[in-house]
Structure formats: structure tokens, C-alpha cells
Structure 1
Amino acid sequence: MTPVEVDGERFEVTERISEPGVYEIRWVSGPHDGYGFATSSYYGERKTEAELEDAIRNFLRQVGPSGYIE
């Protein structure tokens, strides 16, 4: 598990051991405990830190006032 901060929000990123290139991203500082998303790369390649941060920013853009993707 790797802590990541993006735009003032804290996340924990975990790569699935059984599925290389698939990441579970949990929004630690978000309003709903355990809420987050998964992202993956093509062909099981590892994502760069910049790619993971872009995925997180995309997630945050989709979150509405409820604290969930709307």
C-alpha cells in the first residue's frame, strides 16, 4: 500500500498481486470510509506515478456534493 496525496486529498494505492497492472485506490480523506475505485493498464504494465495521479484527478472530477461519483 502506497500513500498518495493529490490536490490536497489523501489516497492509498495498492497493486493487486494476482493481477499485475490493476490498482485499488482508496480515498482516505474522503467523506465515505473505504470509498474509492480501481484502475488498470493495458497488458499488465505498471502505471507510473503520474498516470496514477491522473486517474485520481479524473475520479475527483466525477465526485459530486454527495461525496460519490455522480
Structure 2
Amino acid sequence: MYSYQYIDSVNNLIFRYDNTEHHRKLNLSTFPHHKHDGSEDNVITSDAPLLTEVLKEVEKIIHQQNP
């Protein structure tokens, strides 16, 4: 089991990757792997990312917010 979560300084979810089975009903092609993108309710398909990929994604978001 894994979970990679990125939240901002006031605890707003930016994204979370995980492979818990709580979204079986969504019939995602990558089940149980998925991503919460921007909110708990926005669940999209995702393969299991490597930690280095997650860190690069965080870095990209930070650079976009602070050019």
C-alpha cells in the first residue's frame, strides 16, 4: 500500500496518489491505483508513481506558482 500526498500550507489538497480500494465503484482502468487531483472528489486514473516522479510533480507546481 502507498499514499503520496501534497497539500498546501492551509491543508488544501493539491493531489494524492494511492492504491486503497475505496474507489472500486468508479471502475477505473488502473484500479486500485488512482489520483485525487485537486480535491478528494476528483478521482482520476493513475499508475503507481515512483517517489521521484511525485517529487518532480511537486517541484513543477511550486515553480508554476513562483516563476
Give me the TM-score of the superposition, normalised by structure 1. Answer: 0.37
Give me the TM-score of the superposition, normalised by structure 2. Answer: 0.38
Larger strand share, 1 or 2: 1
